[in-house]
Amino acid sequence: MFTDEAVLAEDLGFDYVSTSEHHFEDDAWSPSQLVILSNIAGRTSRLRFHTNIFLLPLHHPLQVSEDAATVDLLSNGRMDLICGTSSVLEEFEPFGVPAKSRWSRFWEEMEIIRLSYAQDTFEFHGKHFYFPTRSARPPSRSRTPSRCGSVVSARSSSWNRAAGAFTPRAARNSGPSTCRA
């Protein structure tokens, strides 16, 4: 049904649609945003779309990198992966992810995704993930479709600057931001 609504949105002249992720909730938010967005990519030609937000700590960063790049490739560059953490702590336990580790996992996974787009080969040694040298560049070589969705804090602002990210002017002092990773 959401795909039909996205097609209608494109027909009516809307510029973008977004999906949300939650697990085990009754609110009908999608647990599989990239699957839905790949379907939307195949049924639209102009409409941009993004995740709002992709709960990165609940996923493996290399799989996210490859899947997001594939959707971006299928859509001819119309997809943005906006990542964040969940505020619903009950979502973590079924995935075997301690909720208290969500922020350290998030920053580590964002760095892994950034490296996977930026280099043909890379290695990573972190607290949560360890990869010896890998040739894991995703299929999309045109750009990095990932963005960091976060509350602007000293750490997120610093990370965004280091990654060449953009923080919207209105969000520099407070509130959510969407930043190129």
Domain boundaries, the chain: 2-180
21: Cβ contacts below 8 Å, ≥ 6 apart: 29, 30, 31, 33, 51, 53, 54, 55
Is residue 46 exposed (0-12), middle (13-18) or buried (19+ Cβ within 10 Å)?
Answer: exposed
Asked if pLDDT for residue 86 goes beyond 90, the answer is: no
- What distance in Å separates the CA atoms of residue 157 and residue 167, rounded to the nearest whole number? 8
> Of the segments 5-9, 25-29, 145-149, which one has the largest average pLDDT value?
5-9
123: Cβ contacts below 8 Å, ≥ 6 apart: 131, 132, 133, 134
CATH superfamily name and code, 2-180: Luciferase-like domain (3.20.20.30)
Question: How much is the pTM?
Answer: 0.78
Q: Tell me the residue length of the chain.
A: 181
